[in-house]
Structure 1
């Protein structure tokens, strides 16, 4: 991408003319009559990986591999031949593969600038759409589970009580054994129902949270369970600030993921080469639950296990879905609930030899 490094000239527009664009998650470029960039917001800096100073007064078409298409669209916008026009173009960034972006040119009336350009990475747009679907699905799952748990809970108490009354009238030990089976199974179902209702019942205790204290607590708990054959690697960014949250919920959320990883590593633990990595980083200009955040915590839980079966990967956060014999299928569902209660998201990528759970939480 050919760019001239010009010193910004005094803007012909009011100082606050573009303030609203800084609140948007998409990249915005404001273009003058000559096709030059006169304003770029922070997401545009992130997209092109250069500063506003480097973007200022650059020919917008020079930013793209096939800039002639854009130059033609800007000329048509200047002549008011359309209201808006969308096209797919490619940008080059140093050390990266060419990136496809959705480019929308908007013709403006009654403004001192003739056009603006809105840009979104195709991959990023697909990611946002996927996160929105996951949020909607998670909300539907929570409502279903809560309603189902309440429907089960009421007759369950009556069933257990009736079994206890019947047992009191029986003298034959063989028959009492049957009532004990009923009582024990009722108790097991009660425990399951209580777990389903935990996120909705327990009050949140919000305070200052240091994510590395959370990681260290989880690390010590899991290593106590697996003292031999498992290595948990710390890869922390010490500059990550504290944030407001429920520390107990976050410990449980991370613990569920790390325990799942340890259970999936059973063969490697036996061989002595099992490894889980806890990595923390700061992500910038992140959209979470349709809201834009300047900074976000990015926590990766990575393991070198066999990977999640492809047929389960899209459903691992659904309730009662488990890839492990005897698993309840509630651990990751609860983790997703706790993360979403902190306005965050959790994602997973998996292939043989590497499973990566990524938690994103907004930072102040």
Structure 2
């Protein structure tokens, strides 16, 4: 059977990447999904050998030879394909031997979403652990000299002659107030590691309703809060106050990001609860997990900080401390869970996953 390139146009409708090779392993066809996945146009890919597309393409070259020799009809495997100056591709590969002399091998590449998710969670946990160590060390290093600075300013103010007190007290007060502000910041950084984990039965809808009442009190006009609850979500063991704080931090950030829409009266926040099944968190498989979404219709998180929003002191708005999401992630991770985020203009979704009994 001989296949013309024009008869392959339908492959452009597929979401998976398809590459067809000639008998010398050169690309003769790549669909639109392949161009997107490999971040190269067909014009760039055409006539290049398969093994030239990736730094570790020798393994694919060997599989190609087996396909040409018809040692199998099709072969499936998961691979990490490395590229110069780009992120490695985690893909599920299907290699099919075709009964066609001009185009003997078809390769289908599908991004391995599960592997990507596991890698992302592992990076998040490593980052979180590094953040904790950094925060603890930094906070302790700041805390000690702060007390000395504040005490010295108070002593200086006390020792100032009466004639200079009015003139210079303004400056000593600046030092004292800024030292107090930094002390408060340090206390917030250390708070999750100081406070004991108080475990009890938690109803996630009670947590959401508590947060909702706090947000409504602060933003009484122009902000609608939609509740989309699955009442079958069971109670679980956890620290209710920590979870209230985590959800409140996320929701309060969202409400502040909605300031323009609140002004026009069309701001919307949504609390959505579901039960997720067969969820892997930190390489552990759970049969059931709480799947809580906090969604807003705000401007979205700036793309340049989306990968860093859970880092300490990273904020997307002027005047933000950059601690709210860091603390939220810490509290959720203490419940063996994780917070994920998807954001684009008009839609931001913070997803909290926590194992259920």
- TM-score, scaled relative to structure 1: 0.68
Distance change in 2, residues 1:280/1:155 (3 Å): same
Contact 1:285 1:292 in 2 (8 A): yes
- TM-score, scaled relative to structure 2: 0.70
Question: Hey, which bits of structure 1, 4+ residues long, moved more than 6 A?
Answer: 71-76
**CA distance, structure 2, for counterparts of residue 271 and residue 319 of structure 1:** 32
Contact 2:77 2:92 in 1 (8 A): no
1:54-133 map, 5 Å: 86=77, 101=92, 122-133=112-123
1:178 deviates by 1.2
Q: Quote the residue 2:46 is aligned against.
A: none
Q: Quote the residue 1:285 is aligned against.
A: 278
Contact 1:250 1:338 in 2 (8 A): yes
Is 1:337 the equivalent of 2:330?
yes
1:220 to 213, 220, 240: 213
1:289 deviates by 1.1
SS at match of 1:275: strand
Contact 1:209 1:242 in 2 (8 A): yes
Q: Quote the residue 2:340 is aligned against.
A: 347
**Structure 1 unpaired stretches of 5+:** 1-68, 77-84, 89-99, 104-119
Q: Quote the residue 1:186 is aligned against.
A: 179
Q: Quote the residue 2:138 is aligned against.
A: 148
2:195 to 194, 202, 205: 202
**CA distance, structure 2, for counterparts of residue 239 and residue 74 of structure 1:** 47
Q: Quote the residue 1:47 is aligned against.
A: none
Distance change in 2, residues 1:354/1:73 (3 Å): same
1:74 deviates by 10
1:176 deviates by 1.6
Provide Cα deviations, 1:126-165, integer angstroms capped at 9, x if missing partner: 1111110110011101100110000000010011111111
Provide Cα deviations, 1:31-89, integer angstroms capped at 9, x if missing partner: xxxxxxxxxxxxxxxxxxxxxxxxxxxxxxxxxxxxxx8x976999xxxxxxxx8357x
**CA distance, structure 2, for counterparts of residue 247 and residue 152 of structure 1:** 31
**Structure 2 unpaired stretches of 5+:** 1-66, 80-90, 95-109
Please give the root-mean-square deviation of Cα atoms over the aligned residues, in Å: 2.1
